[in-house]
Structure 1
Amino acid sequence: MDSDRVRVLKEGRDKEGPVVYWMSRDQRARENWALSFAQDLAIKRRSPLAVVFSVAEEFLGAAIRQYGFMLRGLQEVETALEEKGIPFILIRGDPGEAVCRFAEEEAVSDLVTDFSPLATKRVWTEKVVERLDASIFEVDAHNIVPCWRASPKQEYAARTFRPKLKRLLSQFCGEIPEIRVHPHPGKIGEGAEWDRLLQDLNLDRSVPEVEWITPGERAAMVALDGFLREKLPLYDRDRNDPTLDGQSNLSPYLHFGQISAARVALEVYRADADPRSRAAFLEELVVRRELSDNFCLYNSRYDSFEAFPDWAKKTLNDHRADPREYLYHREDLERAATHDDLWNAAQKEMVLRGKMHGYMRMYWAKKILEWTESPEEALRTAIYLNDRYELDGRDPNGYTGIAWSIGGVHDRAWGEREVFGKVRYMSYRGARSKFDVDSYVERVASLG
């Protein structure tokens, strides 16, 4: 593994003990750089290896929909690791505290964790670094190019980030080593009681699990195979039409780390498809997705008005007092009770399926800006709804996409208009010119 994929967060005192991979963002047993690094470390030390996952009692508004998808995927991880002689231990509580207690009880010598740019995981990690005397490593197993290597600063736009990323892709886009049967077994922790855990967690159960998508690594690979065969050839044509089933539907798997983005990129690159379709998908998967991690890593206020570029803050401030033709409370928006049948359909699609079409997410967020009293309220409302209902909410892609829609992040100034100022505008009429709005509304209505 390229050493640039690993950061040493703490050099602990040298001692005997097991090596533990604290799995968090990258929830898979296959093609996981963090797990591979942890096993290499354990083999060099001739130590047992274990994987621990700490289930937080609450995570950024996630409901049973998201927790169920995550935990059912983790059951598959446990089975795959058992075949390699690697214990998988599920613990509960604030991960910063729970991981420390576990590591101290098991006298862990080295702790490896995966990288996330989000503030919540960074706070957990800081607690662990401060308290433990073990050596602690962080591995970016989520991005193809490690976030801190792609750029040392917040990038202004995709056009400034893209060339930096492309210069490094060949260095980091190799095959990922597979996990071996671990040669140094050890008894660490206890197995999980999955059914009891799902019942015991104090979760919001008013947002139910969905049935159209199956969680886990195997299902993710099946979905990738289907996308390569059936959708990628026409992706450039179909991806922005919500009436067509042209999107990959891989975002929930990528969000929970149930599939490696590097694997997806390699298979798309090798696929026999229109080069324009390959390029369009890889731009989204690699450039835009990793740009989102860049934004959240280097801008600690990524979910606030203060994260917007100066030109956007100025223009939005200039138009704060503009009259709104329509004003809706959060409850109205959550119930899809607006005058706009297209927006209502997008909201209902998200509530019912846990996934809104990508093109509609932009329209949906921009209308929230148009129909609420301030950019701050619009931002809070969009994040709340996205994180409550989307399977792939609570993600850098979500925060960055909303910041693009409402606050011009990674965009440029456009023609000035009321409410939006110079932030890019999207209209109902514009949507009608791009796709069959009535057909989309009817399709969503048929969902229930």
Structure 2
Amino acid sequence: MIRRLNRHAFGNGRHVLYWMQASQRPEWNPALEYAITQANALKKSLVVVFCLDPRGEGRQARHLRFMLEGLSETRERLAARGIGFVLRPGPPAEGVAALGEESALVVADRGYLRGQVEDRALLADRLAVSLVEVEGDVVVPVETASRKEEWSAATFRRRVARHLDPFPAPPVHHEVRVRSADDETYDSLRLDRLETLLRTLGAEEDAGPGYFTGGLAAARQLLDQFVRERLEHYATERNDPNADVLSCMSPYLHFGQISPLEIAPRVRAVGDTNAAAYLEELIVRRELSMNFVHYNPAYASLQCLPAWAATTLEEHAGDPREYDYALADLEAAATHDPYWNAAQRELLATGKMHGYMRMYWGKKVIEWSSTPEDAYHALLVLNNRYELDGRDPNSYAGVAWCFGKHDRAWKERPIFGKVRYMNARGLRRKFDADRYAKRFGE
């Protein structure tokens, strides 16, 4: 979906500017391809700018390192296409607006979180030229899928399914007609010494570098391995953290280093129940989270919950808790539960927690917190601090799900009320939980 964010006409600047934020990749990028077509039509070069916003991924070195690894690859691939790349520190409204003064047109990709929407609105007001937003990190555009917040995956699935046949086409790869000239240089941070840049940015190394390498090439390598070796087991074994059948695409999707439009056809071509199960997660569940944060401004608090969930949690807020852990205890994986501790240590060690354990992890924090508000706060802090896909619509929806969002009422019990409950016995019924605990033990 393409839309203008202000009423200004094209200017007479020397280039077209693409402000890259959500779609941090050089290929399968609708915003980039749109910017190329406009630059070609205007017979101008194209420059891409990325702003290292201190309000964005925080100062954790793990997140920044992963992101900068991807941006380094993106810069190289853009240069090969004749496209300039500028890396600037600071909020986008400052860095993009400054370069926008020399631009004929500014193109932005689309983000759904509150800060991303506000940044685009602020930039639209500051620019004297046209600002055009191109949606490119979903299979079905948010407003096309639904014009309102959906109640559950079941209601959303019906709406999105009608737009999947025929399946959305990939963006056309356009040739750049006017290459960025050697003298078209701008002040830019260097990406060839990542560790030096991380120190310059004051990044905090909270948990080590993690397991994953950022960038499109790394994402494609994992995707190839998933389709070739793991997908055939996905439907039956995806909830077993010992089985190792997940795609591990979520960090790459969060940073926009790979497109869901590239992933989906690869998986869809397999055409079996495993492919269907994966596409349910990639399209229905993931894009339901975009629907959630787009239409519900309270997505980062208990106020986002359906009335039944908010009511039942409030009714049981005063129930006694057998355990009441401080945030520091949770962060250090210092609880009485070896399975929960293992999940937290997996997160600390790798930057990603297995999806099924992530649900258990969230549910237990509700049980071990003084109030639902304390639990919600703790989960957001830990999720955003350590998960490579933290601060993502999918993450916010996942935390909210633990409290009843996109779910139904269950049998009433202490603390949870009618919100779905999980326990260690359930883990042991599904898989060898002790094996998992030993894998990420102390």
Q: Are 2:379 and 1:382 aligned?
A: yes
Alignment of 1:10-29 (within 5 A): 10-17=6-13, 18-29=15-26
Alignment of 1:68-79 (within 5 A): 68-79=65-76
Q: What is the aligned-residue identity percentage?
A: 44
State the Cα distance separating 1:189 from its structure 2 match: 2.1
Q: What TM-score, normalized to structure 1?
A: 0.95
User: Do 2:241 and 2:436's aligned partners in 1 also have CA atoms closer than 8 Å?
Assistant: yes
What amino acid does structure 2 have at the position aligned with 1:87? G
Q: What TM-score, normalized to structure 2?
A: 0.96
Query: CA 1:172 to 1:100, structure 2 compared with 1: closer, same or farther past 3 Å?
Result: farther
Residues 212-254 of structure 1 deviation map (CA, whole Å, 9 limit, x = unaligned): 3221111111111100000001111110001111111111111
Q: Are 2:147 and 1:148 aligned?
A: no
State the Cα distance separating 1:198 from its structure 2 match: 2.2
Corresponding residue for 1:208? Answer: 208
- RMSD, aligned CA: 1.4
> What SS does the aligned partner of 1:235 have?
helix
Corresponding residue for 2:243? Answer: 244
State the Cα distance separating 1:19 from its structure 2 match: 1.1
| Worse overlay, 94-103 or 283-292 | 94-103
State the Cα distance separating 1:284 from its structure 2 match: 0.2
User: Do 1:57 and 1:202's aligned partners in 2 also have CA atoms closer than 8 Å?
Assistant: no
**Runs of 4+ with deviation above 4 angstroms:** none
Corresponding residue for 1:412? Answer: 408
State the Cα distance separating 1:54 from its structure 2 match: 0.4
User: Do 2:61 and 2:204's aligned partners in 1 also have CA atoms closer than 8 Å?
Assistant: yes
> What SS does the aligned partner of 2:51 have?
strand
Corresponding residue for 1:134? Answer: 129
What amino acid does structure 2 have at the position aligned with 1:95? P
- Counterparts of 2:107 and 2:117, CA distance in 1: 14
User: Do 1:240 and 1:359's aligned partners in 2 also have CA atoms closer than 8 Å?
Assistant: yes
What amino acid does structure 1 have at the position aligned with 2:78? L
User: Do 1:30 and 1:179's aligned partners in 2 also have CA atoms closer than 8 Å?
Assistant: no
- Counterparts of 2:179 and 2:73, CA distance in 1: 23
Corresponding residue for 2:361? Answer: 364
Alignment of 1:286-301 (within 5 A): 286-301=283-298
Corresponding residue for 2:197? Answer: 197
Corresponding residue for 2:253? Answer: 254
What amino acid does structure 2 have at the position aligned with 1:161? F
- Counterparts of 1:340 and 1:84, CA distance in 2: 53
User: Do 2:409 and 2:420's aligned partners in 1 also have CA atoms closer than 8 Å?
Assistant: yes
- Counterparts of 1:127 and 1:191, CA distance in 2: 23
| Worse overlay, 188-197 or 230-239 | 188-197
Structure 1: runs of 5 or more not aligned:
none
User: Do 1:217 and 1:258's aligned partners in 2 also have CA atoms closer than 8 Å?
Assistant: yes
Structure 2: runs of 5 or more not aligned:
none
> What SS does the aligned partner of 1:49 have?
strand
- Counterparts of 2:177 and 2:384, CA distance in 1: 38
State the Cα distance separating 1:172 from its structure 2 match: 6.0
State the Cα distance separating 1:62 from its structure 2 match: 4.9
State the Cα distance separating 1:141 from its structure 2 match: 0.9
User: Do 2:57 and 2:64's aligned partners in 1 also have CA atoms closer than 8 Å?
Assistant: no
Corresponding residue for 1:427? Answer: 423
State the Cα distance separating 1:176 from its structure 2 match: 2.1
User: Do 2:4 and 2:132's aligned partners in 1 also have CA atoms closer than 8 Å?
Assistant: yes
Of 76, 98, 104, the residue aligned with 1:109 is 104
| Worse overlay, 162-171 or 220-229 | 162-171
- Counterparts of 1:181 and 1:98, CA distance in 2: 24
State the aligned residue count. 436
> What SS does the aligned partner of 1:109 have?
strand
> What SS does the aligned partner of 1:10 have?
coil
